[in-house]
Amino acid sequence: MVVPRKQYAILLNLPLALGFLAVSLTGLLNIHDPTARIRTAVLLAAFGGILFAVNLKHVPRLAAHFLLAVLTAIVCALMLLDSGVGYFPILFFLLGPFVTVQFPARPSAIWMGVFILCSGVIFGYQMGLAGMFSLAIYGTGYVFFGVFGWLLHQSEISRAKTELLLVELREAHRQLQVYAEQLEELTITQERNRISREMHDTLGHRLTIASVQLEGAQRLVRGDPGKAEKMIATVRDQVREGLVELRRTVAMLRSPIEEELPIGAALEKLVHQTSDATGIHIHLSVGARAVDLPGTHRQALYRAAQEGLTNVQRHARASEAWLRLEEREGKVTLTISDNGRGIPLEEQTGTGLSGLRERSALLGGACFLDARPGGGTQVTFELPLPKERGENG
């Protein structure tokens, strides 16, 4: 049981005050010599002043022991002034819990031994061998009251620790609430970024092809209606596929390529669609070891290929492009290159390239943008293979 601070002070000080008052009055009433009574009163006043007015915890350790020695000497003097055992040995009962509260266990035990020794010497001096029986009774009382004070002090220590733990628990709870709010915000932000990448990589690719086809159809609608009609049909197909991907992205945020097609077939379909829509001749190379890949890697590589080819169409002004997928040294690498004009510096930090870098970073990989040897631009999208895949491969 933890004793509250106010109750603890009352439990300790009130019994001490009442006990001291009772012993003092009873002892003074039983002393008939006026001179001895005056001396006793002076000693009792000094004893009470030190016991109740001085907090030994707030004085240096050596001074505290000195004051306790003074209190012990006062009790011994009071016992010698009274003939027989009298009432003043009871003051050691009061000093017992006082000592165990003020000092650590070892000094307290030493002082309890001093009380018993002093009482034994005085009892033996006043009553001889019969005083040893009184010492046994009083000594037991000293120990009992000392242990009571020690238990009360431990209760106060437990209370203080409990209050400290409660404060720490409240602070930890507050921090957990803050962390939970931050985690929720971070999760929302990451999900928004993911949705942004998905929308850009899927719908953006389709709309880019559709825009190119519409521009061409607009130029050919009068001169070559048949070809313009074919290009409009391509736009229609692209828009339909874009709508399908948009619905799947919004509903499940998953790529259909992850569920339906292996990476080689998916890239081949993408190359044909892009080449037919843009007129760019695209060379595809897929290494045999790069076919068997986890779903997360297939989706990331497919989206990287989409974005890379979209950038070629938008910025490169290229007539040829190369798409190469290969596995080596525990990594799978997708390289998209072209023979165009290259990507200007102001366009190298666009949303698409940022999305590629974020996508690769999520899987522990990297994305690089370099100049292609011989002219043009080269994007390298690199992912580490899972350990199980690397070992089995």
Same domain, 162 and 305: no
pLDDT at residue 324, rounded to an integer:
94
Instruction: Return the CATH number at 366.
Output: 3.30.565.10
pLDDT at residue 90, rounded to an integer:
82
What is the dihedral sign for C-alpha 368, 372, 378, 383? negative
| Domain boundary, last residue among 133, 150, 170 | 170
Same domain, 39 and 145: yes
Distance (Å, whole) CA 156 – CA 167 = 17
pTM: 0.40
Distance (Å, whole) CA 359 – CA 363 = 7
Angle between helices 351-362 and 130-220 (to 10 degrees): 140
Residue 369 lies in a domain: yes
| Domain boundary, last residue among 170, 192, 218 | 170
Same domain, 153 and 301: no
pLDDT at residue 332, rounded to an integer:
93
Residue 192 lies in a domain: no
Residue 199 lies in a domain: no
Long-range contacts of 343-348 (CB under 8 A, 24+ apart): 343/311, 343/315, 343/316, 343/369, 343/377, 344/315, 347/315
Number of compact structural domains in the chain: 2
Same domain, 268 and 128: no
The residue type of 167 is V
Same domain, 155 and 23: yes
Host domain of residue 74: 5-170
pLDDT at residue 391, rounded to an integer:
47
Q: Which residues contact residue 145 at a Cβ distance below 8 angstroms, ignoring those fewer than 6 apart?
A: 93, 94, 96, 97
Residue 342 lies in a domain: yes
pLDDT at residue 257, rounded to an integer:
46
Same domain, 17 and 144: yes
pLDDT tens digits for range 246-265: 665 555 444 444 445 788 88
Which residue from 281, 307, 278, 275 is spatially nearest to 205, judged by alpha carbons? 307
Residue ranges, the chain, pLDDT below 50:
1-6, 8, 252-259, 351, 390-393
pLDDT at residue 8, rounded to an integer:
47
Residue 248 lies in a domain: no
Residue 224 lies in a domain: no
Q: Identify the residue whose tokens are 């992912």.
A: 383
| Domain boundary, last residue among 110, 145, 170 | 170
Residue 179 lies in a domain: no
Q: For residue 4, how many other CB atoms are within 10 A of its CB?
A: 12
DSSP 8-state secondary structure symbol assigned to residue 105: H
pLDDT tens digits for range 277-336: 788 999 999 987 766 788 888 888 998 998 888 888 877 788 999 999 998 888 999 999
Residue 387 lies in a domain: yes
